[in-house]
Amino acid sequence: MKRVLVVLAALTLISCEREERKFRQTPAEAALQKRERLVSLVAGPYTPDVKIDGPYAYNAHGISEGKRLFSWYNCVGCHANGGGGMGPPLMDERWIYGSDPEQIFATIVEGRPNGMPSFRGKIPDHQVWQLVAYVQSLSGNVPKDAAGGRQENMQVRKQEQSIPDLEPEKAPAEHP
């Protein structure tokens, strides 16, 4: 009986998504790349958007990869470690161009006026999604158990796991 329980307990680990390592993009992830609207005005009757979580929102490995890429692709050059500099800070509740995963994806891929370059064709899509998950984690918008728990470098802010969950502001922020 005891042995059966141990086996059953071990089996539950199989369904643990947190530690899953995805090295390839699945076709489903590729299909998520529909173009993001840049304005909230939509022609025709009102159609509510189906909210989609990024493929790495619940994945610890994906988020930590996003953290590595955040400095490798020099996001830190303008956004610092989330605190902002030449670019806006990413660790607050203000989202100039939207806080949905698709909107963050579009911000990275399309670029935004006044300085955010377009990374279209420069970063493989699955890595953009990893960056999206990391950017979300900077304001506590991913599950705490998947967010990063340690900082390898000098501590400039709390590690992602300890950042309080900052609800995105209701009204979109003013254009800078």
Strand partners, 116: 112
Residue 4: count other Cβ atoms within 10 Å of its Cβ. 8
Distances (CA, A) of 108 to 48, 79, 112: 23, 13, 8
Indicate the residue among 54 and 140 with the shorter CB distance to other proteins.
Answer: 54
Contact 55, 94 (CB under 8 A): no
CB of 112 to other proteins, least distance (A): 19
At its nearest, how many Å lie between other proteins and the CB of residue 21? 7
Q: Hey, how many other C-beta atoms are within 10 angstroms of the C-beta on 48?
A: 5
Give the residues lining the site for other proteins (CB under 8 A). Answer: 21, 23-25, 72-73, 121-127
84 exposed, middle or buried (CB, 10 Å; 0-12, 13-18, 19+)?
A: middle
* Of 80 and 123, CB closest to other proteins: 123
Closest separation between CB of residue 166 and other proteins, Å?
30
Cα–Cα dist 40/173, whole Å: 13
Query: Of the two residues 3 and 21, which places its CB atom closer to other proteins in the complex?
Result: 21
CB of 3 to other proteins, least distance (A): 31
Of 113 and 124, the one with the shorter C-beta distance to other proteins is 124
**Considering the complex, what minimum distance in angstroms separates the CB of residue 70 from other proteins?**
13
5, two tokens: 């329980």
- Whether the Cβ atoms of residue 63 and residue 142 lie closer than 8 Å to each other: yes
Nearest CB to other proteins, comparing residues 111 and 167: 111
